[in-house]
Chains A and B, each alone.
Chain A
Amino acid sequence: MLHLFRRSLLSMIGLVLILFLIIVALFAPLIASEHPSYVEVQTEQGTTRVEERWEIHFDRKLQSPSLQHLFGTDDYGRDIFSMIVYGSQTSLRICLMVVIISTLAGIILGGLAGYFGGVIDEVLMRITDVFLAIPYLILALAVAAALGRSIDHIMEAMIITWWPSYARLFRGQVLAIREQQYVEAARSVGASNSRILFRHILPNSIAPLIVEITLDLGAVLLVAAGLSFIGLGASPGTAEWGLMISEGRTLMFHAWWYVTFPGLAILFVVLGFNLLGDGLRDVTDPKLRR
């Protein structure tokens, strides 16, 4: 399986991009030249003091890329390279949280529905349908309006609208796998329901879900950036790629670097997730294998 993956150049590129993102996010404080929101300021007495970044440094605002500021600075004088590096943490956190929580909900509810069938299936699937009917944008708007704009709130809104598709996908898988004879064999040796569901059915039906998750990580990132861009997500001042594009949009013709670099960051990460997901699908689905 691994050698098939290794043979595909595109999925390897995807893997490298994603590994790069993870490394950047993990070691952000070491990679970034400064913290985007806080700074240590030398006082006259020679001590250092931590101040919020955007209250100062108007003297170096909107500088074009140079060796000191690789990707230039923004209109508050913040270093864009550092913001992008710290933004990777935010992005990764949103992607992983949304996808992991949605997946868990999807596996539990979809698994129960598919395995037990009957009334349980009906009830759970109709609940799923209700959630599937909610558009994420409207929900995000409502949540932002009610609770105020914050990354956590859009994460909640996205989880609520994201899990139903996983529940459906997983239910379908379980429906197919539970008819397999080894499931009956497991029952015939006295395995309990939970054992059959989690030890016998789950490992056999997880593959398409993993592919879906990988592809969705990119989609979640795009949606989150989009929500931040229209002003529903991250609060101003946060290092978040969508927000940076939104803020730099008006200055696009004076400071091209302000929108370009966050945009490229989003592009490469989404591309990475998609290539990785495609690669995984090719590997796990024998029908697509040539």
Chain B
Amino acid sequence: MTETPLLSIRDLKTYFYTYEGVVKALEATSFDIWKGETFGLIGETGCGKSVTALSVMQLIPQPPGRIMSGSILFNGVDLLKEPEKTLQQLRGCAISMIFQEPMTALNPVYNIGRQIAEVILLHKDLTEVPQKNTRNPITHRRIQRARKKRAFEKAIEALDMVKISDPKKVARQYPHELSGGMRQRAMIAMMLACDPDLLIADEPTTALDVTVQAQILDLMKELQHRKGTAIWLITHNLGVIAEMCDRVGVMYAGYIVEIGKTEKIFENPDHPYTRGLLRSIPLIMEERQRLEIIPGSVPNLITPPEGCRFHPRCKYQMDICKTCAPPLVEVEPDHCVACHRFADVKYSVVGEEEKHG
């Protein structure tokens, strides 16, 4: 690919200064998202997926959070160097974000239509010069009222787009009157109302039940086809990733440990952590007594392990892993791994035998 990526994150480092110490949430995270693709980011709870997304949006609570270094290039513009004013224009317009909890992400005091209209009003110029009328001179107030009306109509269109039946009625309803799935649809309508280039979906279906999950994912896919939006999907549901994503990144304790085409990673995981993740889900075709687990849990990021952060839990670890963090190297086209022993992991029969034996 010769064109520039839509979003390019390089060596992003985000720390949180808490009472207990400095939480090194992100340490040199780098990846790209291309126009129109679906990129999945997976990893255990607390490994920095959401922090990455919030860093891109620059919504890290500051203090305690702080983006230490790195760059976030969006369409060639470094977001970290832009003033807040520019960011406000970008948020919701060029980049928007769907939150995990549709229950709490909508403001309870405004009706749905008004909340969607607010986004449209903030970013779109809906000003139409009203017809000259001697009895009713064109006042600022009249123009504003016309804008609001148009925005509300657009909000109804947006609700229609996410397949909410009777959007006119729903637009006048309040969040508590809607079901979880409806609210998530409304959220998606709100976030797609301004045709963003990049949609960040932070666990968009985790809080929903399975049937609704499938509907929401289908909807997102369909809207992506129609509008060419790039979707950055954050989840720990591997099924969702396999279903939706073109490329996938695996995160562990603030590092991208493996990144590449979804099929390649699912067929041929090279990082021990990715392997562990993939082996820890039940397969319907195979008969297994017990699921494999990755021993231990995500390390405390105030005092992360030296070297490769995965080494205390890794069965392939050797001495170099304890001192030196492995770089992300390309093992095949569109597939990078950060592990000193990826070759051994890949070809080692020993490891496989150990597991099955």
Residues of A within 8 A of B (CB): 118, 180-182, 184-192, 199-200, 203-204
Restricting to B235-294, which residues have a CB under 8 Å from any CB of A?
none
Check B97–A190 contact: CB distance below 8 A: no
Cα A184 to Cα B110 with chains together (Å): 16
Give me 25 A-to-B residue pairs in the complex whose CB atoms sit less than 8 angstroms apart, sorted by A's number: A180-B104, A181-B104, A181-B105, A182-B104, A184-B59, A185-B99, A188-B57, A188-B96, A188-B97, A188-B99, A189-B91, A189-B92, A189-B118, A189-B119, A189-B190, A190-B90, A190-B92, A190-B122, A190-B123, A192-B88, A199-B118, A200-B107, A203-B110, A204-B108, A204-B109
Cα A180 to Cα B103 with chains together (Å): 11
Pick from A187, A203, A204: contact of B59, CB below 8 A.
A187
Contacts of A181 in B (CB 8 A): 99, 101, 104-105
Check A184–B122 contact: CB distance below 8 A: no
Q: Residues of B within 8 Å of A, CB-based: how many?
A: 28
Query: If the complex has contacts A181-B99, A203-B109, are A191 and B118 also in contact, measured as CB distance less than 8 A?
Result: yes
B85: nearest residue on chain A (CB-CB)?
A192
Check B91–A190 contact: CB distance below 8 A: yes
Contacts of B191 in A (CB 8 A): 189
| Closest chain A CB from B354 CB (angstroms) | 44
Pick from A182, A190, A191, A199: contact of B106, CB below 8 A.
A182
Pick from B87, B99, B118: contact of A184, CB below 8 A.
B99
Restricting to B162-208, which residues have a CB under 8 Å from any CB of A?
187, 190-191
Contacts of A182 in B (CB 8 A): 104-108
Cα A118 to Cα B62 with chains together (Å): 10
Contacts of A118 in B (CB 8 A): 63
Residue-wise interface mask of B (70-104) relative to A, using a CB-CB cutoff of 8 A (1 in contact, 0 not): 00000000000000000111111100110101001
A185: nearest residue on chain B (CB-CB)?
B105
Contacts of B106 in A (CB 8 A): 182, 185
| Closest chain B CB from A51 CB (angstroms) | 50
B175: nearest residue on chain A (CB-CB)?
A182
A204: nearest residue on chain B (CB-CB)?
B109
B122: nearest residue on chain A (CB-CB)?
A190
Contacts of A185 in B (CB 8 A): 97, 99, 105-107, 187
B193: nearest residue on chain A (CB-CB)?
A189
Cα A115 to Cα B355 with chains together (Å): 53
A207: nearest residue on chain B (CB-CB)?
B109
Contacts of B190 in A (CB 8 A): 189
Check A190–B99 contact: CB distance below 8 A: no
| Closest chain B CB from A241 CB (angstroms) | 38
| Closest chain B CB from A275 CB (angstroms) | 26
Check A204–B107 contact: CB distance below 8 A: yes
B187: nearest residue on chain A (CB-CB)?
A185
Pick from A186, A187, A188, A192: contact of B107, CB below 8 A.
A186
Cα A188 to Cα B97 with chains together (Å): 6
A182: nearest residue on chain B (CB-CB)?
B107
Cα A191 to Cα B119 with chains together (Å): 8
- In the A-B complex, list the 8 residue pairs whose CB atoms are closest, starting with the nearest: A189-B92, A190-B91, A190-B92, A181-B104, A182-B107, A203-B109, A185-B105, A188-B97
List 15 additional contacts besides A118-B63, A188-B91, A190-B123; criterion CB under 8 Å: A182-B106, A184-B59, A184-B105, A185-B106, A186-B107, A188-B59, A188-B92, A188-B97, A189-B96, A189-B118, A189-B122, A190-B119, A191-B88, A191-B92, A191-B118
| Closest chain A CB from B144 CB (angstroms) | 15
Cα A190 to Cα B118 with chains together (Å): 10
Cα A188 to Cα B54 with chains together (Å): 9
Pick from A190, A199, A203: contact of B89, CB below 8 A.
A190
Cα A150 to Cα B290 with chains together (Å): 85
Contacts of B57 in A (CB 8 A): 188
Contacts of B110 in A (CB 8 A): 203
| Closest chain B CB from A199 CB (angstroms) | 8
Restricting to B105-121, which residues have a CB under 8 Å from any CB of A?
105-110, 118-119
Contacts of A204 in B (CB 8 A): 107-109
Cα A191 to Cα B107 with chains together (Å): 13
Cα A184 to Cα B96 with chains together (Å): 12
| Closest chain B CB from A289 CB (angstroms) | 15
Cα A182 to Cα B105 with chains together (Å): 4
| Closest chain B CB from A76 CB (angstroms) | 53
Cα A187 to Cα B95 with chains together (Å): 12
Contacts of B122 in A (CB 8 A): 189-191
| Closest chain B CB from A280 CB (angstroms) | 17
Contacts of B118 in A (CB 8 A): 189, 191, 199
Cα A203 to Cα B118 with chains together (Å): 15
Pick from A180, A187, A199, A200: contact of B91, CB below 8 A.
A187
Restricting to B39-61, which residues have a CB under 8 Å from any CB of A?
57, 59
Contacts of A189 in B (CB 8 A): 91-92, 96, 118-119, 122, 190-191
B57: nearest residue on chain A (CB-CB)?
A188
Cα A118 to Cα B92 with chains together (Å): 27
Contacts of A199 in B (CB 8 A): 118
